[in-house]
Structure 1
């Protein structure tokens, strides 16, 4: 890992970084090697897997992709590592043809609906569409978000959260976890926006997959960029509507003990 930037250099993923080293509002920092974030893990090399196991003691993978994405992409190398548990926690409302039942028949999977962002309307500004997408995660899959944050509290090694690009779904879940732990708003927003440094590499990777290529090419590259203002607006909406992240989480079964466990796990 590059200590200056928190990037984790891997052969098979381009948007991997450690959530350690971020400042809290009371002067502490997040611990290194506790929670990692990344883009799709399908292409990890043998050396990548070894690095994650040896240098980061990886034990839990939080996979936020939809059921259809997982089926279309197939199992990644970490699913074959006995010491690693993969938690599939889709942030997509798996309804109708998106359900496990439909996915049982490969021909029944609607590729055009494999990705959450496919359902965004096209008649509003880009940030408003993205904000609606992020709020949709909260409305549709509070269960997955709570479960993902609880995985992060586990003490048996590091956790790695990812989706396809490691930007939207991963960005939202990581932002919520950091907010619970008391990380400054500026640091949360900056971490979200940091994906922009690797955006071209992320898009280049995803374009090699039939699952993602058509959607990516249907929109300008800049429409995928993680703008800091969007994450700030998203967290502000949570503050205004739910009294903050813990207020929203409490409505989905999150407890003060969960907050204590996550804070203890993440903070030095």
Structure 2
């Protein structure tokens, strides 16, 4: 069964639960990850409603949220951070003035994954999302997203699955699923044209595919930076041992 759920205006929406965990257990259902919801259609909203989603962890910065407001229904608990203020997001600054050769993009992506765990806004939403998962009902849907649903979202999902005891190679497989979930043949020309019109920069197709996609090495960069998920969640995000135990317990299917 495919983990990818098709929507009209939402990219990279898929569930990241139901993986095999430690000691023969299985991660529960109702856990979703995605790109932004600005272009969600009425049909998309009805489909989302059927998933019984009650909590949204939005990892985008304030400027991103202002530029592309979420098109959600009512009655949702939304987790987000205003720490970054309205500064230009790093990925947009890179597109505007960085080295957009293939080597330049690959280098920037690796540095991004060393930076993401240390950004306070990410840490705030990571912690809030995990604390929500510690008490979140199994009959309620939970979704985490950023702009594209691959980098910040990918790191949060990797942390969550790691706490649940999912093997790291399976976590990486879930992470790189973005490359199959998104139709890059259709997306790359559209983004290439938009970036040329907005920034007067023509990014070569291989470099843009690398920028829009993921590679397993990137996730390894993040975990080389943070060490184990447990150490990071405890020492950096500030969850107590009891909270971490509650996250683990509540992530397992009953």
Same structural fold, with TM-score higher than 0.5 when normalized by the shorter chain: yes
> What is the alpha-carbon distance in structure 1 between the residues aligned to residue 45 and residue 176 of structure 2?
26
2:228 aligned with 1:247: no
1:77 correspondence with 2:71: yes
Q: After alignment, is 159-168 or 213-222 more displaced?
A: 213-222
SS state at 2:149 partner: coil
User: Of 242, 246, 260, which aligns to 2:245?
Assistant: 260
Please name the residue that 1:30 is paired with.
Answer: 27
Is the 2:195–2:202 contact (alpha carbons within 8 Å) kept by the matching residues of 1? Answer: no
How far the C-alpha of 1:18 sits from its partner, in A, is 0.6
Residues 266/196 of structure 1: CA separation in 2 closer, same or farther (3 Å cut): same
Deviation at 1:15, TM superposition (A): 0.5
Structure 1, gaps ≥5 residues long:
99-112
Per-residue CA deviations over 1:57-92 (Å, capped at 9, x if unaligned) read 10011111111111112x3221xx3321222236xx
Q: Is the 8 A contact 2:192 2:202 kept in 1?
A: no
Give the conservation status (yes or no) of the 8 Å contact 2:20–2:26. yes
Instruction: Tell me the CA shift for residue 233 of structure 1.
Output: 3.7
Once superposed, what is the RMSD of the aligned Cα atoms? 3.0
Once the two structures are superposed, what CA deviation does each residue of 1:132-187 show, in whole Å capped at 9, x if it has no partner? 21221222222232122223334252111111111111111111111111111011
Unaligned runs of 5+ in 2: none
Q: Which has the higher contact order (CA 8 A, sep 6+)?
A: 2
Give the corresponding residue for 1:87: 79
- Return closer, same or farther for 1:8/1:209 CA change in 2, 3 Å cut-off: farther
Count of aligned residue pairs for this structure pair: 239
Tell me the TM-score normalised to structure 2 length: 0.81
Q: Is the 8 A contact 2:11 2:148 kept in 1?
A: no
